[in-house]
């Protein structure tokens, strides 16, 4: 079935066509009809399946069709991070362009006055992070009494970040008679308990429950010494200069270190982690999205906040300590119908992490064969100055300190 065959309003059809939406993905095909009927939906769908559009399209259609509604916030969308909230807002604005439906994003990290001004002018859809939303409610700037649709997006991430009490508090503030749409990338006992406390006779949709990793991603792992990873990253970037490459590291300190290593060999890259303020994060994402920089080095804190079309490579420079984060990382590529490539650099001390990832995903990751001569050639071909020995010694000491800490934990 094609989108042009749906009985959407003309403005929605036009915007879908302009955005390149021709056929619904599995989650969109299964979620849109019950949402349009006003039913509660509990959807479990992995990253990259198109779940954002699965609720954005029908929510816009419902609000456009309700021409006699009183002014006020009719739909509230809760997001765990500022980046996700901004990206969801962009989708609402893109697919709702030309309609009278107004969408506003409220989040922390920026001045609240511009957000208050927009609220006073009237908003139909409010996309929010918990902290700023509750602040504005307590100040009397947000009225939740007219909410008809509640969307809880990235529910598993909301729980990971400790927002369970905020969610329960929100449920007390909005009308009991409402439509609830619950979306999560993963499902466990805690998420089930939360979901069923929110929905009523919900339509349950689960996409690819046995394989949490997108089938559009080719996975491989290369066994590389911790101190040599920067040389292999340099080679990968230089061999694919036109490709958008997203590099994941373990900590913000590592992000800075890897970025500096790339800068030393003439490769421009950006960093994104929890210590960056909102303006810096938005700027980094825009530059990466626009192709001004083709390499972005990020931590797991930012993994779900990076939703950029055309990321060809995801590089796990450091393997994640939580195996589920591997799924969220590699989900940044191979989105929709496009294919992507995920390459992991695994040092000897990280092999237990690799085993945990393979057990979690239920798939063995194919090994990249690197001959001794090819390995040696990669080290020889680096543009890094051999005279820059001080920075190399400092980096080696820091890596050795991390290895010792890991050993003590075990």
Q: Which two tokens stand for residue 366?
A: 């194919």
Indicate whether 400 pLDDT > 80: no
CA atoms within 13 A on the CB side of 2: 6
DSSP assignment letter at 41 = E
The full DSSP string for 238-295 is HH-TTSEEEEE-SSHHHHHHHHHHHHHTT---EEE-TTS-HHHHHHHHHHHHHTS-SE
pLDDT for 382 equals 84
Per-residue confidence band for 120, with pLDDT thresholds at 50, 70 and 90: very high
pLDDT tens digits along 168-207: 888 999 999 999 999 988 777 888 888 888 888 999 998 8
The full DSSP string for 120-146 is HH--SEEEE-HHHHHHHHHTT----TT
Please list, in sequence order, all residues whose beta carbon lies within 8 angstroms of the beta carbon of residue 184, skipping any fewer than 6 positions away.
43, 44, 154, 155, 156, 191, 195
pLDDT tens digits along 122-168: 999 999 998 899 999 999 999 999 999 999 998 888 887 788 888 88
Element holding 85 (H helix, E strand): helix 82-95
Q: Let me know how many helices (H) and strands (E) the chain has, helices first.
A: 16, 14
Q: Which two tokens stand for residue 103?
A: 């969408």
Bigger pLDDT: 385 or 66?
A: 66
Element holding 93 (H helix, E strand): helix 82-95
Indicate whether 393 pLDDT > 60: no
Q: Considering only 79-88, 246-255, 350-359, which range has the smallest mean pLDDT?
A: 79-88
For the chain, the average pLDDT equals 87
Per-residue confidence band for 409, with pLDDT thresholds at 50, 70 and 90: low
First to last CA, the chain: 53
Q: What are the structural domains of the chain?
A: 3-206 (3.40.50.300), 217-405 (3.40.50.300)
- Measured CA to CA, the distance from residue 191 to residue 168 in angstroms comes to 13
- Measured CA to CA, the distance from residue 28 to residue 58 in angstroms comes to 9
CA 310 to each of CA 155, 262, 349: distance values in angstroms, whole numbers, following the listed order: 25, 22, 32
pLDDT for 280 equals 82
């Amino acid at each position: 079935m094609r989108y042009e065959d749906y009985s959407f309003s003309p403005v929605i059809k036009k915007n879908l066509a302009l955005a390149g939406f021709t056929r619904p993905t599995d989650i969109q095909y299964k979620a849109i009809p019950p949402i349009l009927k006003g039913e509660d939906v509990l959807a479990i769908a992995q990253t990259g399946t198109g779940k954002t559009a699965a609720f954005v399209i029908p929510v816009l259609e419902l609000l456009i069709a309700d021409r006699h509604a009183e002014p006020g916030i009719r739909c509230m969308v809760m997001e765990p991070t500022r980046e996700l909230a901004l990206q969801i807002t962009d989708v609402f604005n893109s697919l709702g362009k030309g309609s009278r439906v107004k969408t506003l994003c409220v989040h922390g990290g920026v001045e609240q006055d511009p957000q208050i001004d927009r609220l006073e002018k009237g908003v139909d859809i409010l996309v929010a992070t918990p902290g700023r939303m509750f602040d504005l409610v307590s100040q009397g700037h947000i009225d939740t009494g007219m909410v008809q649709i509640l969307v809880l997006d990235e529910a598993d991430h909301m729980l990971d970040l400790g927002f369970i009490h905020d969610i329960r508090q929100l449920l007390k503030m909005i009308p009991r008679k409402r439509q609830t749409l619950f979306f999560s990338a993963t499902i466990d006992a805690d998420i089930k308990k939360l979901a069923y406390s929110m929905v009523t006779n919900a339509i349950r949709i689960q996409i690819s429950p046995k394989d949490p990793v997108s089938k559009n991603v080719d996975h491989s792992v290369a066994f590389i010494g911790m101190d040599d990873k920067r040389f292999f990253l340099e080679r990968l970037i230089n061999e694919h200069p036109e490709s958008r490459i997203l590099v994941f590291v373990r900590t913000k300190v590592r992000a800075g270190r890897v970025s500096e290593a790339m800068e030393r060999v003439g490769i421009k890259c950006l960093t994104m982690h929890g210590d960056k303020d909102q303006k810096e994060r938005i700027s980094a994402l825009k530059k990466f999205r626009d192709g001004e920089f083709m390499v972005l080095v990020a931590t797991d804190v930012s993994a779900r906040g990076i939703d950029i079309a055309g990321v060809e490579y995801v590089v796990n420079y450091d393997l994640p300590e939580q195996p589920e984060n591997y799924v969220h990382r590699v989900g940044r590529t191979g989105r929709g119908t496009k294919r992507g490539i995920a390459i992991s650099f695994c040092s000897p001390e990280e092999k237990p992490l690799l085993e945990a990832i393979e057990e979690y995903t239920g798939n063995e990751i194919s090994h990249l064969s690197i001959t001794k001569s090819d390995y040696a050639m990669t080290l020889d071909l680096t543009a890094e100055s051999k005279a820059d020995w001080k920075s190399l010694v400092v980096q080696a000491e820091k890596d050795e300190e991390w290895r010792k800490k890991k050993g003590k934990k075990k």
